[in-house]
Every structure is written in C-alpha cells, then in structure tokens.
Amino acid sequence: MAKNERLALLSVSDKRGLQDFARVLARLGFDLLSTGGTATELGRAGLAVTAIETFTGSPEILGGRVKTLHPLVHAGILARPTPEHLEELREQGGRPIDLVVVNLYPFRQTAARPGVTLAELIEQIDIGGPSMIRGAAKNHARVGVVCDPDDYVRIAAELESGNGRLSDATRLELAKKAFAHTASYDGAIATTLSGLGPGGSPDPSAWPKAFFVELELVQTLRYGENPHQRGAFYRTLPRQEGGCLAAAVQLQGKELSYNNILDADAAHQAASAFDGIAAVVIKHTNPCGAATGATLAAAYRQAREADPVSAFGGIVGLNREVDRETAQLLAETFLEAVVAPGFEPEALAALERKKDLRLLKVPPLSGGVPQLELKSVGGGVLAQDRDVVGDDLAEARVVSARPPTEAERRALDFTWRVSRHVKSNAIVLGRLADGGHGQTVAIGAGQMSRVDSVQIAVQKAGDRARGSVLGSDAFFPFRDGPDLAAAAGVTAIVQPGGSKRDAEVIAAANEHGMAMLFTGRRHFKHG
C-alpha cells in the first residue's frame, strides 16, 4: 500500500455519506484501509483502497467472521505515539492507524423485523467493530473515532481546516460518543436476547430479565419540582420521531421547567385521546377542562370555560394546528404553555406579544407498539406499557334498567375518554354542549376515596351538574358515590364495574332512574 503520513481504517454497515467522506480523507493524504463491502463501495467511487487482508497478510476466514481481529489492526489502533510503541509496531510490519471510521451491524433493525429467527439475530452481533471502536476511543489521545455518519460533514471540515488533524477536544468528544455507541449496542443485544422465549424466538409479551435504557440529555433545567432540587430532561434512545414530548420543537417562550414538561406531556396525551377536534387544559398533570368542537377555537373556548379559575396558569393541549382565531382566544388568559401539532403563521403572529408563553410543536401520537412508561421507586424502577388501549362504548354493557339515551351515550363516551387522563380516584362530569360536542362540567381528581372525588366534582359543578353524566376510572366500591351524583342531578354513569358491591351500586342507579354502563376495563392513573 502507499505510504502516506496518515492511515484511516473504514469498515461500516451504514454506508450513508461514506464515499464523500472518504474522498476528503484521500485528498488530505490519508491511505484508506478497508474491509469487504466497504472496500467495494469505496472502489466504486474510484478511490484507492487497501484490503485488510493485504495489510495484515492474513485472509478473511470463517466466512468473514474473522477479518479485523488481528494484532496489526489493533496494535495500529492502540499504539501510543512513543518511540517504543512505534518501533515495536514497525518491527511487526504494522503502521499507526490515525482514524477509525466504523459503525456496527444493524442488530436493532434486524430484531425489529417480524419473524426474525435467533440465528439471524446472532449473525447481527458485531465482534470486530466494537473492538475497533473501543480501542480507538481508549487511545483517543492519538486516534480519532467516527461511528456516526451524521458526523462526517463536520469532521471532514475540521480535518480540512486542521491539515488532516483533529483537535484534542474533538477526539475526546468522539471517544465519549463511541463508548456510548458500543454501550447502546451491547444493551440492545442483552435486552433482546434476555427477552427470548425458551425456544429462542422473540416473545413480545415477555419482560426481559435484563433491561437496558439509553438516555440522552436534552437540557439541564433550572431546578426540579422545587428550587432546592436539581432537574434535567433526557430523551430515550433510539430517538422517537413522533408522538412524544422529547420530539417537541419549542417555537417561542421561556425555558421549560421540570413541572412544565410534566404538564405538557399530560396535555399532549390527553388531547390525543380524541379523533375529533379537541382541547384540554392541564393543571398539575390533571385536566381541569376538556372539550371537543366543530372548530379548534370552539373546543378551546369550551375547555377553558369548564373551569376558568383553574385554567389560569394552565397548559393547553390541542390536537389540531393552531389558527389565528384560536390563538387570539389563547392570548386572553395567562397560560404557561400551548402544545399542538403546529401553529399557522397568523397564530404565531397573534401570540408573539405573549413573549413568555411557551409554544411547543409536538408531532401527533404514533401508532404501533405502546410506548414504555418507567417510574422510579426507591432502589428500582417500575415498567409498564403506556395506557393507550382504545375503548369503544358500543361494546360496554348496560347494567341498569334504563339504557342511556343516544345523547347520554355520546356524553359518556367523552367523559370516559377524559377520565383515563385524570389522577385516581378520577371522577369526570360531562355534557354535550353547543353542536352536540363534549365538554367537561367538573372534575374530581386524586382523592383518597372515590366519594370524595364525586363530592369535589359536584361541588365545583354546582347547578351545572344537573343533566350531566359521570365517568369513573375505576369501579364504585359503595353506592354512596352514585347516590351523591344522583342528588346533584347526574343522569348516567360509565364505570368499569367489578366491585363486590356491583349489585348494590346498580340498585342505586335504578332507584334514581340513572343509566349505567360497565366497560370491563379500568383506567387508573396512579401517579
């Protein structure tokens, strides 16, 4: 091979941008050393490449399983720039390798493929790649390591401005990223394999015995829930492109706080519960008002008017792009943030004077596998699928003597959708407002007894409780809740059922002439 001053080793599965990057290296006087498919790709670009087997004097063996696992490769990477190391390397017929451009077999992509076999998974476990990446990262005082194709452009620019050399700071930064890359890769393998069933097939219903979560810092926060607590926001990796707050783009306003992020996520989740146009106002992660409407402005107006006192200082979740009319309504009240799929230019202009108001553009919820929800407890973590299972009240069971009217059923469907986003014990009073769209009347949340939540809801509703319907996230353990609701004028109830005293509760509904539906599914939101 040629004897330029510098040597780069390139061996990648993800070949995005490879040819352009390699052209820069060649122009800067790097000799290019490569393996199999990577060498072929570089050859197509007309670049001079030395094959690994030529460099080592040893052929690839075992069908390509062993090609870079050779002393001259790893000595070239790990050699320090001392006379002793360089002399020993020369005596062995080797050369220092200055740049390692390596990314790994696509294990995650293979594991995500339906019907993948254990044998296919095993073949996507890279051995030589992680060894080279880790060796280069360990020796970052001399060697640059590039494992992300998205870094090619900026690394090429620095090499060009630095006469083929990277700064100490850049090599350290790349080393940190490289160790995170191999840790992530090993974590994905360990998590996937520990979740396999006895026959070696992936079992989607099984929890892995070892579970590795990779987090990337999004931002440090001024403080946590309170000023004496530290706070930070991390996103899970690989990044989710849609349907999560970590993918949000802040278009305006002050820096988000810890509590803002919690409330914004609750607003996004609650607004996304509706297929039709909907608005939700959140305070302390609980909806204080929610509504659907023919327009976004109408939905927001109804949601705000459901509890205008609590709406002050709230966070609004909307499931449609914000238009000028809605923006003008939003500007009427002091709000902390607005979360929506987008904002029209006229809406941004209308909200521009509210300079502290945080505007978050968040992609719509993604379909497919439910997102994993993690909660820390002392010395451990609880894990569950996020509660995104849909409920169709057409399948609910009428257990009362009187079935609900069509209007009551539609109102019950609305309150049931809202109830899963309210902290338990959750009681939601709702009604059909203008144009037959749903609106919350009052909400009782987070109480130690369900009857207390009913009491709070009917007390907040006052006369507006008359003619409303009630949604309860879990069963009524006693008839006291329905009795209290009936006295306030509630006409129908939807609840999961399943209490030992269901018969007593149903009897109460019948005594008051109330309609009652059992869904058979609970929606606790415990914390």
**pLDDT tens-digit series, residues 253-297:** 999 999 999 999 999 999 999 999 999 999 999 999 999 999 999
Query: CA–CA separation, 141 vs 80, rounded Å?
Result: 8
Same domain as 308, residue 417:
no
Round the average pLDDT of the chain to a whole number and report it.
Answer: 91
Identify which has the larger pLDDT, 209 or 393: 393
**pLDDT at residue 202 greater than cutoff 80:** no
Phi and psi torsions of 260, nearest 5°: -60, -45
| Cβ neighbours for 228, distance < 8 A, ≥ 6 positions apart | none
Same domain as 171, residue 27:
yes
Same domain as 139, residue 283:
no
| Cβ neighbours for 407, distance < 8 A, ≥ 6 positions apart | 432, 436
Same domain as 278, residue 166:
no
In a domain, 389, yes or no: no
Residue with tokens 């002439």: 513
Q: Out of 15, 85, 138, 254, pick the active-site residue.
A: 138
Boundary of a domain, candidates 338, 361, 384 = 361
Domain that holds residue 500: 394-518
* DSSP at 489: T
Instruction: Enter the tokens of residue 117.
Output: 């076999």
In a domain, 221, yes or no: no
Give me the number of domains the chain comprises.
3
Active-site residue, 284 included: yes
Query: CA–CA separation, 300 vs 317, rounded Å?
Result: 9
Phi and psi torsions of 339, nearest 5°: -115, 125
Residue with tokens 């409920």: 391
Amino acid 101 reads V
Note the pLDDT of residue 1.
46
| Cβ neighbours for 215, distance < 8 A, ≥ 6 positions apart | 234, 235, 236, 237
Q: Chain-centre distance of CA 490, in angstroms?
A: 39
368-413 residue pLDDT tens: 545 778 899 999 989 888 888 878 898 999 999 999 999 999 999 9
Question: Coil, strand, or helix at residue 493?
Answer: strand
127-136 residue pLDDT tens: 989 999 999 9
In a domain, 186, yes or no: yes
Query: CA–CA separation, 489 vs 506, rounded Å?
Result: 17
Q: Out of 15, 85, 177, 284, pick the active-site residue.
A: 284
Query: For residue 416, what is the domain's CATH number?
Result: 3.40.140.20
Same domain as 64, residue 126:
yes
Same domain as 400, residue 353:
no
424-479 residue pLDDT tens: 999 999 999 878 999 999 999 999 999 999 999 999 999 999 999 999 999 999 99
Instruction: Enter the tokens of residue 103.
Output: 């990314």
In a domain, 509, yes or no: yes
Note the pLDDT of residue 228.
96
Query: CA–CA separation, 159 vs 102, rounded Å?
Result: 17
Question: Coil, strand, or helix at residue 63?
Answer: helix
Note the pLDDT of residue 368.
52
* DSSP at 66: B
Note the pLDDT of residue 314.
97
Same domain as 172, residue 99:
yes
**Can you say whether residue 103 is alpha, beta or left, with left for phi > 0 and alpha for psi between -120 and 50 degrees?**
beta
In a domain, 218, yes or no: no
Phi and psi torsions of 470, nearest 5°: -125, 135
Query: CA–CA separation, 262 vs 240, rounded Å?
Result: 18
In a domain, 378, yes or no: no
Same domain as 337, residue 281:
yes
Boundary of a domain, candidates 194, 229, 264 = 194
Query: In angstroms, what CA-CA distances link 129 with 13, 21, 62, 105, 467?
Result: 10, 19, 16, 8, 68
Q: What is the DSSP string of 139-194?
A: TTTT-EEE--GGGHHHHHHHHHHTTT---HHHHHHHHHHHHHHHHHHHHHHHHHHH
Boundary of a domain, candidates 194, 213, 229 = 194
Identify which has the larger pLDDT, 303 or 365: 303
Q: What is the pTM of this model?
A: 0.83
| Cβ neighbours for 84, distance < 8 A, ≥ 6 positions apart | none
Active-site residue, 526 included: no
108-161 residue pLDDT tens: 888 888 888 888 888 889 898 999 999 999 999 999 999 999 999 999 999 999
Same domain as 167, residue 29:
yes
- Would you say 29 and 4 are in contact if contact means Cβ atoms under 8 Å apart? yes
Instruction: Looking at 345-465, list the stretches that DSSP marks H as alpha helix, in order from N- to C-terminal side.
Output: 345-351, 406-419, 450-461
Note the pLDDT of residue 192.
85
Query: CA–CA separation, 127 vs 489, rounded Å?
Result: 69
In a domain, 226, yes or no: no
Same domain as 46, residue 176:
yes
Query: CA–CA separation, 340 vs 326, rounded Å?
Result: 12
Query: CA–CA separation, 161 vs 92, rounded Å?
Result: 33
Query: In angstroms, what CA-CA distances link 186 with 131, 147, 327, 409?
Result: 12, 15, 47, 51
Query: CA–CA separation, 43 vs 297, rounded Å?
Result: 60
Q: Is the dihedral of CA 160, 161, 163, 168 positive or negative?
A: negative
In a domain, 203, yes or no: no
- Would you say 256 and 337 are in contact if contact means Cβ atoms under 8 Å apart? yes
- Residue 416's Cβ-side half-sphere holds a number of Cα atoms within 13 Å equal to 26
